[in-house]
Amino acid sequence: MIIIIGSDEDFHAKYVLENLIEQGHNAKYLDTRDYPLIKWSPERENDYIVLDNEKVYINDVQGLYWRWYYGINYGTSDIVYREKLSALESFLTSIEDISYNSMQAVELHYKKGLQSKIMQNNGIRIPRTIVTNDKDVVADFYISNNKSIIYKPVRGGAYTQKFKEEDLLRTDSLINCPAQFQEFVDGVDIRVYAFDSGETFAGEIIAENVDFRQDEDAIINKVELPVKIQEDCLKILKLLGLKYSGIDVRLSKDGEYVFIEANPAPMFYYFEKVTGHPITQTLINNLIKEK
């Protein structure tokens, strides 16, 4: 049995579920908006979760595909909400051994500064970075990076933008909300899907915009990465507690690979379609393998 965190509303959740079923596996969604009947214990003895009216014993679950976690509905009071959340999340956190990816790894990705710090402290090249709500620091950072920096959200959810000279005039508003600033790595985007089973699949994305998702004509070409960079990708998985990831890298004009972020629940359908890299099947093989 494979559990998929998500629902039919998410394309990738549905796509993986359909592929699993087609290949003869049993798979069910866990859509947490419908709070499940659940029994959890530290020993994982006869623990279960009821999905689609079926009692699914956790010891019979080969893998959990974490795609889209909805959280839970508020319910009747703060205390009930917190209790329900704590019970569910204790359970989800405790099954990290079978989770692609674990709740811990997903939560680390919400703290991107921390993700970057862990990478940097372990010899992975990341862009020079600051997270701040102090406009004075931004002005200094802009100058010390040859007036070539970008800004983007700390947690995610908005596009990356090139910082322009005139933006110095509107940094006052930072006091209301911090942002992340980085040296601009001039070059091309590389997306790498890395699996702890050892595979890495890469493609370069040729786009006009700083953030390729704003460019509908972006082109993706399959590429082979230098062995050292493949090893760095696998090292990042270990460092961040990921079993697989969609890692964003920039290849600078000087030929340097700079690591931007490691996504714990990446989309891959379009990338797989144009590059031919077997991402779905590698993910499925990992989900179903003996742990």
Ligand X SMILES: Nc1ncnc2c1ncn2[C@@H]1O[C@H](COP(=O)(O)OP(=O)(O)OP(=O)(O)O)[C@@H](O)[C@H]1O
Which residues make up the interface to ligand X (CB under 6 A)? Answer: 127, 150, 152, 156-157, 160, 182-185, 189, 210-212, 248, 250, 260-261, 263
Choose between 43 and 216: whose C-beta lies nearer to ligand X: 216
In the complex, minimum distance from the CB of residue 100 to Mg ion, in angstroms, rounded to a whole number: 19
Q: What is the CA radius of gyration of the chain?
A: 21
Residues paired with 162 in a beta bridge: 150
In the complex, minimum distance from the CB of residue 265 to ligand X, in angstroms, rounded to a whole number: 10
Q: Which partner from the list Mg ion, ligand X, none does 211 bind, CB cut-off 5 to 8 Å by kind?
A: ligand X
Sheet of 38-39: strand order equals: 38-39, 48-51, 54-57
Choose between 95 and 150: whose C-beta lies nearer to ligand X: 150
Choose between 265 and 283: whose C-beta lies nearer to Mg ion: 265
Tell me the residue number closest to ligand X, measured at CB: 156
In the complex, minimum distance from the CB of residue 9 to ligand X, in angstroms, rounded to a whole number: 18
- Two tokens at 31? 């859509």
Q: Which partner from the list Mg ion, ligand X, none does 243 bind, CB cut-off 5 to 8 Å by kind?
A: none
Distance CA 204, CA 191 (A): 6
CA atoms within 13 A on the CB side of 212: 17
Q: Is the peptide bond before 19 cis (omega within 30 degrees of 0)?
A: no
Q: Which partner from the list Mg ion, ligand X, none does 282 bind, CB cut-off 5 to 8 Å by kind?
A: none
H/E stretch holding 273: helix 269-275
214: phi > 0 → left, psi -120 to 50 → alpha, else beta; which? alpha
In the complex, minimum distance from the CB of residue 291 to Mg ion, in angstroms, rounded to a whole number: 29
In the complex, minimum distance from the CB of residue 54 to ligand X, in angstroms, rounded to a whole number: 34
**Taking CB under 5 A as the criterion, which residues in 239-268 touch Mg ion?**
248
- Two tokens at 144? 């010390």
In the complex, minimum distance from the CB of residue 117 to Mg ion, in angstroms, rounded to a whole number: 17
Evaluate whether 10 touches 67 at the Cβ level (below 8 Å).
yes
Evaluate whether 23 touches 284 at the Cβ level (below 8 Å).
yes
Choose between 117 and 147: whose C-beta lies nearer to Mg ion: 117
Distance CA 123, CA 74 (A): 43
Choose between 75 and 113: whose C-beta lies nearer to Mg ion: 113
Q: Which partner from the list Mg ion, ligand X, none does 71 bind, CB cut-off 5 to 8 Å by kind?
A: none
Choose between 89 and 211: whose C-beta lies nearer to ligand X: 211
Distance CA 139, CA 170 (A): 11
Q: Which partner from the list Mg ion, ligand X, none does 160 bind, CB cut-off 5 to 8 Å by kind?
A: ligand X
Q: Which partner from the list Mg ion, ligand X, none does 67 bind, CB cut-off 5 to 8 Å by kind?
A: none
In the complex, minimum distance from the CB of residue 261 to Mg ion, in angstroms, rounded to a whole number: 5
Residues paired with 259 in a beta bridge: 249
Choose between 48 and 151: whose C-beta lies nearer to ligand X: 151
Phi and psi, residue 105, nearest 5°: -70, -35
* Sign (positive or negative) of CA dihedral 242, 97, 99, 85: negative
Choose between 225 and 284: whose C-beta lies nearer to Mg ion: 225
Cβ neighbours, 10 Å, residue 45: 9
In the complex, minimum distance from the CB of residue 248 to Mg ion, in angstroms, rounded to a whole number: 4
**Which positions touch Mg ion (CB under 5 A)?**
248
